[in-house]
Chain A
Amino acid sequence: EPEVTQTPSHQVTQMGQEVILRCVPISNHLYFYWYRQILGQKVEFLVSFYNNEISEKSEIFDDQFSVERPDGSNFTLKIRSTKLEDSAMYFCASKWGSTDTQYFGPGTRLTVL
C-alpha cells in the first residue's frame, strides 16, 4: 500500500541554523500539507500546497518557513533560522482529490537546542 515517507526521522539542530525536512507524498496525490505537533499539544496546520503554489498558510507559517516541490516526488519544508519553540513533530500529509482524505507520513521529530 502506498505511503507518505519523511526524512529524517529525527533532526537535532542548533538555534539559528537552517533545517530542511523532506517528504515524499503518495505518487498520484495532488494536494500536500505540513502540520506540526508540539509535545503534548494538538496537531496544527502549517501550510497547504497545490498546483505548485501555496494555497493556504497559518499564522505559524511566517517568513522563516518556506515550502518547495523541487521535482515530481519531493515536498520540502525549510526553516531558515530555527528557534527553540520550533521543536516539534512535523508531519507531511497528502491527498489525491479535493474530497479525498489526507494521509500522514510518519513525521520528523525536530529538536532545536
Chain B
Amino acid sequence: QKEVEQNSGPLSVPEGAIASLNCTYSDRGSQSFFWYRQYSGKSPELIMFIYSNGDKEDGRFTAQLNKASQYVSLLIRDSQPSDSATYLCAGGENTGFQKLVFGTGTRLLVSP
C-alpha cells in the first residue's frame, strides 16, 4: 500500500516567520512530488513540484526532496496570513498516467 504521511497540525507560525511542512512516503517507486494548497471547501491548488533530490525554490517557497530518506518538505518564507490553509503533499509514479497519492494534509495557521 502506497502511503504519504503528513502531520495534520495545526502548525501555527507568526506572520513573517518560516513555516516548515514535512511529508514522508512509503513507496520507493514514487518519483515525483507535489505540494498543493487547499483552502477550506476549495480544490487543491498546485504550489510546487519536485522530481530531483535537493532543493527547488520558487519565490517564497522552497521544496526539498531526499529520496534516500523518502522525505519531502516545503518551506514557506515570510509567511502571510493568506498562507493559512491545508497543505497537501502528493506523490506520483514516474509513468505517464501518474495517479497522485495524497497525504492527509497539514493545516497551517499564520497569525498576524
* Chain A residues engaging chain B, CB cutoff 8 angstroms: 31, 33, 35, 41-45, 48, 50, 55-56, 58, 89, 91, 98-99, 101-107
Tell me the bound Cα distance from A107 to B104 in angstroms.
18
Contacts of A50 in B (CB 8 A): 96-97
Among the listed A41, A48, A99, A105, which residue makes an inter-chain contact with B104, where contact means beta carbons less than 8 Å apart? A41
Q: How many residues of chain B are within 8 Å of chain A by beta carbon?
A: 22
A55 touches B46 (CB 8 A): no
- Least distance between A4 CB and chain B CB atoms (Å): 9
User: Are A101 and B34 within 8 A (Cβ)?
Assistant: yes
B98 CB contact (under 8 Å) in A41, A58, A98: A98
A50-B96, A56-B97 given as contacts; is B43 within 8 A of A42 (CB)?
A: no
Chain A residue at minimal CB-CB distance from B96:
A98
Find A48's partner among B88, B90, B99, B102 (CB 8 Å cutoff).
B99
Residues of chain B with a CB closer than 8 A to A45's CB: 99-101
